[in-house]
Chains A and B, each alone.
Chain A
Amino acid sequence: MNTSFGRLLRAELKLMLRDPLVLTFVFVFPVLTMLIIGGSFGTKPSSGFANRNPAHWYVASYLTVVIAATGLIMLPVHLASYRERGVLRRFAAAGFPRWSFALAQLVVGLIAVAAASAVELGVAAPVYGIPALHEFWRVALGIGLGAVAFVSLGVLLGTLLPSARAAQAVGLMLFFPSFLLGAGGPPPNALPQAMRSIANLLPLSQVTDAIRDPWLGLGAASSSLIVVAVLAMAASTLAARRAAL
């Protein structure tokens, strides 16, 4: 694969694995917090967790943390840093088509989600076990659409924010509330009503519902899946426009 896109993708994949921000937030943080939170509530099914094993609840929820870290932190910072330092101009001047960089970022983001999810499940398996998948295709669809939505959102933020520092600040501001209320924090039943209402509005909560519910047999979460699909379509269209795809 010696096309300009292929060369760009290869280089970007290597760079991803050398970036401490990526390794910390996409690969280490979700696993570490999953181990801590997952171990905090024991393994006995509890009403607070819809009568499911709390550890399994978090194993199923934390794939979304990987998706959020990729889309809200890794990609915006990476892209904004390239724009700020003139790396994108250099690529453009060297004849890389404008779409090739955006597409490479999309693919890198999806590969990051897949790899970090595999690491998370690989660590969870011997510690808490992997919960049985009740509806495989719905879970797969939820992960796929959620990843496309947040990776596109990351590309979009990276093309809008003026600098790497701004991208880091905005990314962290979006990531932590989403993480605490929409994926890796207390279960929704433990939240006060006002917090729960806010949590329901978060895009990441919709992705979490679309993955966790069919995974643990809590329901099809069709409405969440539709919201995630719309989000994926809107974010990818806007990202493509910004990147002049």
Chain B
Amino acid sequence: MCSARRAAIVPAMITNSVVTVRGLQKCYGRRRVVDGVDLDVLEGEVVGLIGANGAGKTTTVECIQGLRRPDAGTLRVLGLDPVTEAERLRPLIGSQLQDSALPDRLRVAEAVELFSPRRARGGEALLEQFGLAERRRSAFASLSGGERQRLFLVLALLGRPRLVILDELTQGLDPSARRNVWAAVSQLRDEGTTVLLVTHELGDAEALCDRVVAMRAGRILDSGPPAELVDRHARRAKIRFGLEHGAHAGASSDALLDELRGVVGVERVERNGLRVTVYGDRRAIAHVGAVLVRNCSVPADLSVQIPTLEDALLGLLDGAEPHAFSSDDHDYHLIGAMQ
């Protein structure tokens, strides 16, 4: 059963914090969708809130925007309370909401005019910047998925908001449109805008975010820079190469594999016919390379697989045990699971 009381604690403020959330709880009926979330977003940061569908990400940002009233916890956004000061706060935030649309017959230029805060300028420049200038007379219904998302970005950026919240920005986009949107968010980061990015696409988070906050079942599991999370949850790298018939025949190849087993960072070496796979942490990559060079046997088909954020967090976010590699490596589970 969900508590309906709101804690009266004032969140401990971090000096340049744009968003401060402490102990946020939200229930829909008897189902608790956000369960004690603490979150800080600092000025100029691009923070990714990631998690599977139903993890509570969207509800969290809706509470941050004052679109939903929390059941418990405290929030300060740009120094304002999103519950009691929502009308003052909302014009300071640029939002791109999940699953929302514009009227079908509203034209692009009209949407810009409608959503431009008083005295705001720059709508035309934003349309140019996001490649929509030629579409300014087009109705919303006639825009492609990518164009719609770019229009939502334009609308979110009107009036130079201090905080931009982008919820599932690349959902349903083709790879090219996704790259365009990534470029736009990168530009925001370069301009120093604070961005809270909500996504279940780990690729988005890895490409764009300074810091990632992983959520599951309404709780925060871990947070940190993407590289740090990868290091924490998926340290292993995989190095593969083929043995050459002449150069690595018989005892020669056995000696090479024995030497590799003793290399710093190597955890296991597997041989399947002429194919060799070396598992280890990322230090092992350099050391294995050095052994191969020393033995004058650098293979032409050498490949290295480094874990991505997706490798590190996929299992974690889905609720299963995290793993480094899945396709041909069923017995190889991540050692350093969640800490």
Contacts and interface: CB of A to CB of B under 8 A. Distances in A.
B121 to A, nearest CB: 12
Contact of B103 (A82, A92, A94): A82
Given A93-B67, A94-B95, A87 B102 contact: yes
A11 B111 CA distance: 8
Given A82-B103, A89-B97, A8 B114 contact: yes
Contacts of A14: 110
B117 to A, nearest CB: 7
Contacts of B118: 2-4
B105 A7 contact: no
Interface in B94-123: 95, 97, 99-103, 105-106, 110, 113-119
Contacts of B67: 89, 92-93
Nearest to A14: B110
A-side binding surface: helix, strand, loop or mixed? helix
A5 B106 CA distance: 17
A90 B65 contact: no
Number of chain A interface residues as a range: 20 to 34
A152 B228 CA distance: 57
Given A94-B155, A95-B90, A86 B114 contact: no
Interface string A109-129: 000000000000000000000
A85 B106 CA distance: 14
B100 A87 contact: yes
B103 A93 contact: no
B289 interface: no
Interface in A58-80: none
B91 interface: yes
A229 B103 CA distance: 33
B87 interface: yes
B243 to A, nearest CB: 58
B324 to A, nearest CB: 38
Contacts of A93: 65, 67, 90, 93, 95, 97, 100
